[in-house]
Amino acid sequence: MNHSEEYEDASILQGVPDAFQRLWTPHRLVYIQTGTQPSDDQCPFCIAPNLTDEQALIVHRGITCFVLLNLYPYNSGHLLVVPYRHIPNYTDANDIEVAEYAALTQKAMTVLTSIGGAHGFNIGMNQGAVAGAGIAAHLHQHIVPRWRNDANFFPIIAQTKALPRLLGDVRTEIASAWRQIS
């Protein structure tokens, strides 16, 4: 008996049912294969500035920091503020980087409120892998726009997040508004 005959009925492989839905994320395999963190030469935040804005989802390039869309957003318009320098912690940033980091965070909030009518924001940094940083070696801050009632039944019942807009469309709109808002 070959394997294809042996496992014709995949139901025998199901195991014990549980309450979890499965969201397949093969794009995150690199983190698992390399000890959960990309190597410094594979750091997406170091690679991004060398790509076009469209390829990297960059909405603004500053002097010491840049702003880009999160490739795996919690909500539409989920932005990241990132220093160009490959530093792991906020305490490693110099005064000029800290000032631009803060100014870009404020500007991001203004832009997202202007174009999307955000009612609030989750803003945060996870410092270190043990704190939940997906890319711990390169400092970055999340800016997640929130709206009243933005938690529909999907996350509550199906543990799935619905994102109503494509990343490229969101990047174009934010980048355009970024240039227009002073």
| Tens-place pLDDT, residues 92-120 | 999 999 999 999 999 999 999 999 899 99
Q: Is 18 part of any domain?
A: no
| Between residues 77 and 167, the one the model is more confident about | 77
Q: Is 7 part of any domain?
A: no
User: What's the predicted TM-score (pTM) here?
Assistant: 0.73
Does position 73 have pLDDT exceeding 70, yes or no? yes
pLDDT at position 1 is 47
Q: What are phi and psi of 87, to 5 degrees?
A: -125, 145
Residue of 60, 78, 138, 140 with catalytic role: 140
Q: Is 116 part of any domain?
A: yes
- The position carrying tokens 């025998």 is 12
Q: Is 5 part of any domain?
A: no
Q: Return the HEC string of the chain.
A: CCHHHHCCCHHHHCCCCCCCCCCCCHHHHHHHHCCCCCCHHHCHHHHHHHCCHHHHCEEEECCCEEEEECCCCCCCCCEEEEECCCCCCHHHCCHHHHHHHHHHHHHHHHHHHHHHCCCEEEEECCCCHHHCCCCCCCCCEEEEEECCCCCCHHHHHHCCCCCCCCHHHHHHHHHHHHHHCC
pLDDT at position 21 is 54
Q: Is 160 part of any domain?
A: yes
The tally of CA atoms less than 13 A away on the side-chain side of residue 91 is: 3
The whole-angstrom separation of Cα 135 and Cα 10 is 36
pLDDT at position 168 is 85
Percent of the chain exceeding pLDDT 90 equals 49
Q: Say if CB 87 and CB 93 are below 8 A apart.
A: yes
Q: Is 11 part of any domain?
A: no
pLDDT tier for residue 79 given thresholds of 50, 70 and 90: very high
The pLDDT tens digits of the residues spanning 111-155 come to 999 998 999 999 999 888 888 778 889 999 999 999 887 765 555
Q: Give the domain extent around 30.
A: 24-180
Does position 84 have pLDDT exceeding 70, yes or no? yes
Say whether 140 is catalytic. yes
At position 49, the amino acid (one-letter code) is P
pLDDT at position 7 is 47
Total domains, the chain: 1
Rounded mean pLDDT, 71-78: 86
pLDDT at position 53 is 96
Q: Is 17 part of any domain?
A: no
Q: What is the CATH number of the domain that holds 81?
A: 3.30.428.10
Q: Is 75 part of any domain?
A: yes
